[in-house]
Amino acid sequence: MLVYTIKRFFEMVIVFFLFLVISYLLFNAIPGNAFSSLLLNPLLPPEAYQKTIEAFGLDKPLFERVQLYIINFFKGDFGYSYTYYPRTPIDLIAERLPRTLMLFSIVNVVAFYTGFLVGKILAWRRGSKSETWITIGSVFSYTVFYPWFALMMLWFFGYKMDWFPLGKFLVPEKWYDSPYASDEIFYTLILFTTISSFLLFLVFIFTRNIESLQKRRNARLFGLIILASLATMYWTNGEAALKRFYAADIAYHMILPTFTVTLVAFAGTALLTRTTMMEVLKDDYILTARAKGLSQKRIRDRHAARTALLPVVTSFIFTIITIIDGSVLTESIFSWPGMGQLILEAVVQEDIPLAMATFSFIGILALIAHFIADISYAFLDPRIRIKAEN
Amino acid sequence: MENQNVDRDVKAAIKKNWRLFKQSKIGITGLVIVIFFGFLAILQPLLFLTNIWDEATYHPVVGYDAEKISRTVVECPDQYPTKEYPTREDCPRVDEVNIRYLKAFGIEAEVGDSYESNVQPAPPSSRHLLGTDSLGRDIFSQIMEGSQVAFLLGLISAIIGVGISTLLGTAAAFYGGKLDTYLMRQSDLVLMLPTLPFLFIISAFAELKVWHLAIVLGTLGGLGGTVITIKSQALQVKVKPFVDSARITGGSKRRIMFSHILPNVAPLALLYMVFSVTGAIASESVLSFLGLLNIDMSWGIMIYLSQTEGFIFTGLKYWWLIIPAGLAVTLLAGGFYLVGRGLDDVFNPRLRRR
CATH number at residue B260: 1.10.3720.10
* Average pLDDT over all residues of chain A: 83
On whether both B212 and B288 belong to a single domain, the answer is yes
On whether both B113 and B178 belong to a single domain, the answer is no
Q: Mapping DSSP to helix (H, G, I), strand (E, B) and coil, where does residue A192 land?
A: helix
Is residue B51 in some structural domain?
A: no
Q: Which distant-in-sequence residues (6+ apart) come within 8 Å of A201 by Cβ?
A: none
Is residue B157 in some structural domain?
A: yes
Q: How many domains does chain B have?
A: 2
Is residue B53 in some structural domain?
A: no
On whether both B162 and B227 belong to a single domain, the answer is yes
Residue whose C-alpha is closest to residue B239's, from B264, B267, B212: B264
Q: Which domain holds residue B107?
A: 67-119
Q: What is the DSSP letter of A173?
A: G
For the segment B9-51, what is each residue's pLDDT rounded down to a tens digit? 778 878 888 888 888 788 898 999 999 999 999 999 999 999 8
On whether both B114 and B245 belong to a single domain, the answer is no
Distance from CA of B311 to the nearest CA of A (A): 11
Most confident of A250-264, B14-28, B262-276: A250-264
Most confident of A113-117, B13-17, B271-275: A113-117
| Burial of A294 from C-beta contacts in 10 A (0-12 / 13-18 / 19+) | middle
Is residue B242 in some structural domain?
A: yes
Q: Which residues pair with A117 in a beta bridge?
A: none
On whether both B209 and B292 belong to a single domain, the answer is yes
On whether both B72 and B41 belong to a single domain, the answer is no
On whether both B189 and B248 belong to a single domain, the answer is yes
- What's the average model confidence in pLDDT over B204-232? 84
Distance from CA of A229 to the nearest CA of B (A): 40
Q: Which residues pair with B115 in a beta bridge?
A: B71
pTM to 2 decimal places: 0.83
On whether both B206 and B246 belong to a single domain, the answer is yes
On whether both B251 and B345 belong to a single domain, the answer is yes
Q: Report long-range pairs for A58-65 (Cβ below 8 Å, ≥24 apart).
A: A62/A28, A65/A24, A65/A28
Is residue B124 in some structural domain?
A: no
For the segment A350-387, what is each residue's pLDDT rounded down to a tens digit? 788 888 888 888 878 777 877 777 777 777 666 666 65
**Are the C-beta atoms of A328 and B196 separated by less than 8 Å?**
yes
How many beta carbons lie within 10 A of that of residue B235, not counting itself? Answer: 17
Q: Which residues pair with B119 in a beta bridge?
A: B67
Nearest chain B residue to A364 by CA distance is: B192
A69, containing H or E segment = helix A62-75
Rounded to the nearest 10 degrees, the angle between the axes of helix A2-28 and helix A352-380 is: 160
| Interchain pair B204, A30: CB under 8 A | yes
On whether both B174 and B238 belong to a single domain, the answer is yes
Is residue B330 in some structural domain?
A: yes
| Interchain pair B192, A15: CB under 8 A | yes
**Are the C-beta atoms of A272 and A311 separated by less than 8 Å?**
yes
On whether both B105 and B182 belong to a single domain, the answer is no
| Interchain pair B333, A318: CB under 8 A | no
On whether both B336 and B240 belong to a single domain, the answer is yes
Tell whether B181 is within 8 A of chain A (Cβ). Answer: no
Query: Distances in Å between the alpha carbon of A342 and those of A283, A339, B199, B329?
Result: 49, 5, 15, 27
